[in-house]
Amino acid sequence: MNHSLEDESPFKEALGPLIKTLESDPDWNKRFGAASKLFRIGKEKAVDPLINALQFDDHSEIRRFSADLLGRLGDPRATWALIAALRQALSEKEKTMAYHTRVALVNIKSNDLPSILTSTVGDKEEFFEMRVMALNILGEIADTKSVECLIQVINNPDTEGKIRGKAIEVLIYTGHLAGLQLVLDLLEATTNKNFQKVVARALCRTPLKNKTIVLRFGDALLQIMETEESKKEDKDTELTKLVADSLKQLALNINISFNKLMDEILAVRKKQKQK
């Protein structure tokens, strides 16, 4: 009789006893071991038992481990359970659990996740920390669909100022060209100081390496600086400091001095005027 390699595998084991152990054994160490074995040998059949453990196990370490394993399995069936666990962790200020559920959601890469997160961001009945976390996860995924969702949040006239500001920050952090182009267009078109401050703060923490983009942001920021300096007594000192700091960061990003960055920005302006 012929046997497949799978039949002869020393790791082949009935899943039923493992599931029962995970669901009902009073020793959390045994439940932990059962979860680990289910992950290794059960693959997709481990998803439902791990979701159950994430939702109902009374030991935080089992819930945390289940979130990790679900993220590593990458099965979209776990999306809603992980979102619910993340919401609960944030509401109860369980930072460790919030971290692990967030990482798991990013790792799953569900096609529906960006839309679900966008709905969460737009839900004004949802608590603020969860909406901000949804934005952060979109930024961590940072694929085309997630960036489009961030742009949708920014362009939505019903989006509140704090949420829009956070979405702009996250969009800049992604470094995605379509997102950066939108922010540049808005920065060049508006005199709203709150928006300018949001962009400047984000640029202080974003390692942009594309020199063309850096010079465009640098030019827009320099124009803001020039406008504020011309006001003398009425200038916004917080804004000018933020702009100066972001310009210094832009120079560091492309490995040139601050003065060299200023020279290159002015050279670009000169070429544009000649055209």
Confidence of residue 6 (pLDDT cuts 50, 70, 90): very low
Give the model's pLDDT for residue 154. Answer: 95
- What does the pLDDT average to over 47-68? 98
Confidence of residue 110 (pLDDT cuts 50, 70, 90): confident
Residue 34: partners with Cβ closer than 8 Å, 6 or more residues away: 18, 19, 21, 22, 25
Question: What is the rounded distance in angstroms from the CA atom of residue 93 to the CA atom of residue 225?
Answer: 40
19's tokens: 């599931």
Question: What is the rounded distance in angstroms from the CA atom of residue 79 to the CA atom of residue 116?
Answer: 9
SS3 content of the chain, % helix, strand, coil (to 5): 80, 0, 20
- What does the pLDDT average to over 264-268? 95
Give the model's pLDDT for residue 233. Answer: 79
- What does the pLDDT average to over 122-147? 96
DSSP calls for 35-49:
HHHHHHHHGGGGHHH
Query: Structural domain boundaries of the chain?
Result: 176-275
| Residue 240 scores a pLDDT above 80 | yes
Q: Residue type at 177?
A: L
Question: What does the angle CA 47 – CA 145 – CA 112 come to, to the nearest 5 degrees?
Answer: 30
| Residue 234 scores a pLDDT above 90 | no
Segment 15-44, tens digit of pLDDT = 999 999 999 999 999 999 999 999 999 889
Give the model's pLDDT for residue 249. Answer: 97
Give the model's pLDDT for residue 13. Answer: 57
pTM of the predicted protein model: 0.86
Residues of the chain with pLDDT > 90: what percent?
A: 87
| Residue 232 scores a pLDDT above 80 | no
Residue (of 117, 161, 111) closest to 139 by Cα position: 117
C-alpha distance from residue 180 to each of 171, 175, 214, 216 (Å): 7, 7, 10, 10
Give the model's pLDDT for residue 80. Answer: 96
